[in-house]
Chains A and B, each alone.
Chain A
Amino acid sequence: MRERKQPLFHLVKRSELPAKYAWMIRLLSLLAAMLVGALIFLLLGSNPVKAYGEILSGALGRESARQRVVNIAVPLLGVALAIAPCFKMKFWNIGAEGQITVGAIGATFFALTFGGKYGLFAGKEPSLLLLLMMALGSMLCGAFWALIPAFFRAKWGTNETLFTLMMNYIAIGIVKWLQGGPWEGKPGSQIIPNFHASALLPKVFGVHIGWIVVLVLTVLIFVYMRYTKHGYEIAVLGESTNTARYAGMNVAWITVRTMLLSGAISGLVGFMIVSGANRTLYYGVAGGVGFTAITVAWLAQLNPFAMIVISLLLAVLSKGAGNLETVMGIPTSISDIITGIILMFMLASEFFIRYRLVRSHKESKEAKKA
């Protein structure tokens, strides 16, 4: 018999931790992650302090860099907001990538059809009417793309994870076809021509106006999830389908409605990418944003305001990484590793907010003294 095999540590669930301490744990885990990252820089023979400095200065040093950071953060935040209601509902929508792409197609259709034509849209300034048409088109397309898996799930209980994932590839395939076919610019170029000036989003403080849109959306989604009947339905459904049914909720309709909303917002983000950042459509338009946004949403624990912070943090890391390569010759893949480490530590910190490790022996002695 193994008599004296006392575990060295064991887990004890914490009482509710005051928010101040919870944030301290998060900060500590960020520091710990940076320490591990420093080890990697050391192994590569680089000075970690300098490397971290370069990431920061590369991302925040010049105004153009800061604008670039916001440019990266806007779609991340927008899509994180889009998938938050789905995830709250435990509907695993990993098809934001495709919904962005299809939204971008919708916007591009109006940009190519009307941009620079019909006198009305021929001016050198962005046309509000055209932009509204593009926004609406992108939202309808994104919503439609999300509707398909939602309908199948609501009607026949199909697995939404696989379904939404596969829809991504179809969307990307459609863009490839458009690039080489109907919307091809110069024959043989495989490129869709740049949008006319009337179809481009205006800039505010050097960044396309999308940043204001997503900030407004942040507030709207917060209110929607927290204070509306829809938000309540989503929260109940996420906890238990049976409870929702029992409370008289129309589970199928709530599923479809939430996905329509989610798809519409993702589609809108697609519009902002083509019209604000890229100025045209190509098959890599979503560029992984639909997946990275899942990380943003989870790290923020589906809290819209926390998503602002997380998406900015990821954007800083991503922009700073480019600088690291040009200045110190450290490949960008290394900064991807650093980003991964930081994300892992931050996820782990949530665990330590809920539990604490105690030394088994010490604890029992303490209890006796008490």
Chain B
Amino acid sequence: MDTTCAVRMEEVTKTFGPVVANDRVTLEIRKGEILSLLGENGSGKTTLMNMLAGLYFPDSGRIFVNGKEATIASPKDAFAHGIGMIHQHFKLVNVLSAAENVVLGLEGGALLDIREVSRKIREIAEKYGFSVDPAKKVYDMSVSEKQTLEIIKLLYRGAEVLILDEPTAVLTPQETEKLFDVLRVMKKDGKAIVIITHKLHEVTSLADRVAVLRRGTFVGEVAIGETDAAELTNMMVGRQVSLNIDRSEPENTAPRLKITDLTVVDDEGVTKLDHVNFTAFGGEILGIAGVAGSGQKELLESIAGLCPVKSGEILYTPEGKKPSNLVGKTPMQIKSAGVAMAFVPEDRLGMGLVGGMGMVGNMMLRSWREGGGAFVHHKDPNALAKKVMDELEVVTPDVNYPVRRLSGGNVQKVLVGREIATAPSVLMSAYAVRGLDINTSYTIYNLMNQQKKNGVAVIFVGEDLDVLLELCDRILVLYDGKVSGIADARTVTKEEVGMMMTHLGKGGEADA
């Protein structure tokens, strides 16, 4: 195998204000090899790769491409050096076709020969085993098709080095396998591939070599044959963490939320939830699986009163109280009616947090109305902020430091910590560990388990099936706004859940 060096980063440093994102990192990317870049949240993986992609410019250090020193000051420079990156958020124009997106921004004559472009796209697709329709509009595409298009875009531009930032976060297991097959073909073709991921099993099944970052510094690299998940985790977090989620048997379960024929239609008349039926019990964790956009967000938002319900009933029964219907109540009423609901929104900053405020200001989002008089009370939120900071090990210079400037994982800790602190009786969380490193993820799993033991009905929307299978008691699978099935998490297999995510099952084998 040809494994000469494609890109070499030497002593690269990047700072953002007081935060050192990368501290003298030296990294080699080789041709014909899949390198997995592993690290905790805020360890600087994406920042490091963004410097290769031309989005950031290093404060110091040097970059060599094919042995020659290179200056990459813009994405255009990156392309000129054959480096391309696929970001977590796709950068495609919705109203244009696949072919049009591919040539977008390329220099060329005044006339565009879209047929020639389409022919070349098909050629690339055939070579690497993609399936793609060059004439298809982006808004008609599934997430996985969009990702394929992003990859083709890079290959069309002659990228020799491909960087993928958490590519599997949005894919089903089947789609992930397909992507990995394509990546393996590209590897055989001599491309250098870097994949940023948190999922250890993906690292071990796909990568040839793993490079580990911790707190912005390079910890080391290992060939995949010479390591195992436990060692990699140790390298990432710097200390031993247990890889087992302890799952207790549910005790004293009682129906907490009974949802009957819940139907939600959005502003544009699209049915987002279609006659959804299920019951969530106190003292258990109900996992919700589904491809992104299958109605998870609408389900949680309609329970929280943030999303108008077309029809159906949400019957809430607090411990020792009479049931009441939550439909038609405002978020505030749902809260003040004794329904303490903790909601970790999908889009953590856009919805759950105020980026410009510090931890204290954000803790106040839950309690700002409390206390008499016209003035806000800072004391309790201040104490709560300190508590969350200590217990969840939030890295921040100060409790009043704007959370926008914290790293993604720390932002999420602030959010989850606050939600749990409200001592809810139904705890809903969507993607609570999205993008979190293993160590922090486990902190959050433990918090969820603690809530379950306290008799809380925990609803956990997740994207990592391994975690759902290990953490939850039951798993409800949504497919296109419908309940595709409800399974016992202790007996169901990942493949079975994956099938339910992509095909409508029997429609929920009743409330098991």
Annotate B310-337 by CB proximity to A: 1 below 8 A, 0 otherwise.
Answer: 0000000000000000000011100100
Q: Would A3 and B16 be within 8 Å (CB), given that A232-B364, A243-B365 are in contact?
A: no
* CB-CB nearest 4 A-B residue pairs: A367-B60, A248-B332, A15-B18, A239-B354
Using Cβ atoms and an 8 Å threshold, which residues of chain A touch B68?
3
Using Cβ atoms and an 8 Å threshold, which residues of chain B touch A243?
350-354, 365
Q: Quick check: is B77 within 8 A (CB to CB) of the other chain?
A: yes
Contact of A242 among B350, B364, B374 (CB under 8 A): B350
Chain B CB count within 10 A is highest, among A242, A245, A358, A363, for A242
Annotate B31-75 by CB proximity to A: 1 below 8 A, 0 otherwise.
Answer: 000000000000000000000000001011110000011110100
Q: Would A367 and B59 be within 8 Å (CB), given that A3-B69, A6-B71, A247-B365 are in contact?
A: yes
Using Cβ atoms and an 8 Å threshold, which residues of chain A touch B374?
228-230
A190 CB, nearest partner CB in chain B, Å = 46
State whether A228 touches B59 (Cβ < 8 A): no
Contact of B375 among A229, A248, A367 (CB under 8 A): A229
Using Cβ atoms and an 8 Å threshold, which residues of chain A touch B69?
3
Using Cβ atoms and an 8 Å threshold, which residues of chain A touch B147?
none
State whether B73 touches A232 (Cβ < 8 A): no
Q: Which residue on B lies nearest to A242, using beta carbons?
A: B351
Q: Would A246 and B59 be within 8 Å (CB), given that A13-B15, A16-B17 are in contact?
A: no
Residues on A facing B (Cβ under 8 Å): 1-7, 10, 12-16, 227-233, 235-236, 239-240, 242-243, 245-248, 358, 363-364, 366-368
Q: Which residue on A lies nearest to B354, using beta carbons?
A: A239
Q: Quick check: is B460 within 8 A (CB to CB) of the other chain?
A: no
Using Cβ atoms and an 8 Å threshold, which residues of chain B touch A363?
59-60
Contact of B368 among A5, A15, A229, A245 (CB under 8 A): A229
**Contacts across chains A and B counted by CB atoms under 8 Å:** 102
Using Cβ atoms and an 8 Å threshold, which residues of chain A touch B351?
240, 242-243, 246
State whether B16 touches A13 (Cβ < 8 A): yes
Using Cβ atoms and an 8 Å threshold, which residues of chain B touch A228?
374-376
Q: Which residue on A lies nearest to B401, using beta carbons?
A: A16
Using Cβ atoms and an 8 Å threshold, which residues of chain B touch A3?
68-71
Q: Which residue on B lies nearest to A224, using beta carbons?
A: B374
B254 CB, nearest partner CB in chain A, Å = 27
Bound CA span A367–B13, Å:
9
Q: Quick check: is B455 within 8 A (CB to CB) of the other chain?
A: no
State whether B71 touches A5 (Cβ < 8 A): yes
Extra contacts, 12 of them, besides A232-B376, A246-B306, A248-B335 (Cβ < 8 A), are A3-B71, A4-B71, A12-B15, A229-B374, A235-B357, A239-B354, A240-B349, A240-B350, A246-B345, A246-B351, A247-B366, A364-B61
Q: Which residue on A lies nearest to B356, using beta carbons?
A: A239
State whether B376 touches A367 (Cβ < 8 A): no
Bound CA span A2–B65, Å:
13
State whether B80 touches A247 (Cβ < 8 A): no
Q: Which residue on B lies nearest to A227, using beta carbons?
A: B375
State whether A229 touches B376 (Cβ < 8 A): yes
Using Cβ atoms and an 8 Å threshold, which residues of chain B touch A240?
349-351, 354-355
Using Cβ atoms and an 8 Å threshold, which residues of chain A touch B130?
none
Q: Quick check: is B120 within 8 A (CB to CB) of the other chain?
A: no
Q: Quick check: is B369 within 8 A (CB to CB) of the other chain?
A: yes
Q: Quick check: is B281 within 8 A (CB to CB) of the other chain?
A: no
Q: Quick check: is B343 within 8 A (CB to CB) of the other chain?
A: yes
State whether B57 touches A246 (Cβ < 8 A): no
State whether B365 touches A236 (Cβ < 8 A): yes
Using Cβ atoms and an 8 Å threshold, which residues of chain B touch A1?
80-81
Bound CA span A243–B344, Å:
11
Chain B CB count within 10 A is highest, among A1, A240, A242, A247, for A247
Bound CA span A227–B376, Å:
6
Bound CA span A363–B375, Å:
48
Using Cβ atoms and an 8 Å threshold, which residues of chain B touch A15?
17-18
State whether B343 touches A229 (Cβ < 8 A): no
A169 CB, nearest partner CB in chain B, Å = 34
Q: Would A239 and B306 be within 8 Å (CB), given that A229-B375, A229-B376, A230-B374 are in contact?
A: no
Using Cβ atoms and an 8 Å threshold, which residues of chain B touch A2?
71, 77, 80
A to B CB contacts below 8 Å, 30 in the list: A2-B71, A5-B71, A7-B71, A10-B57, A10-B73, A13-B15, A13-B16, A13-B17, A14-B17, A15-B18, A16-B17, A227-B375, A229-B368, A229-B376, A232-B368, A233-B368, A235-B361, A240-B355, A243-B351, A243-B353, A245-B331, A246-B343, A246-B352, A246-B365, A247-B366, A248-B331, A363-B59, A364-B60, A364-B61, A367-B13
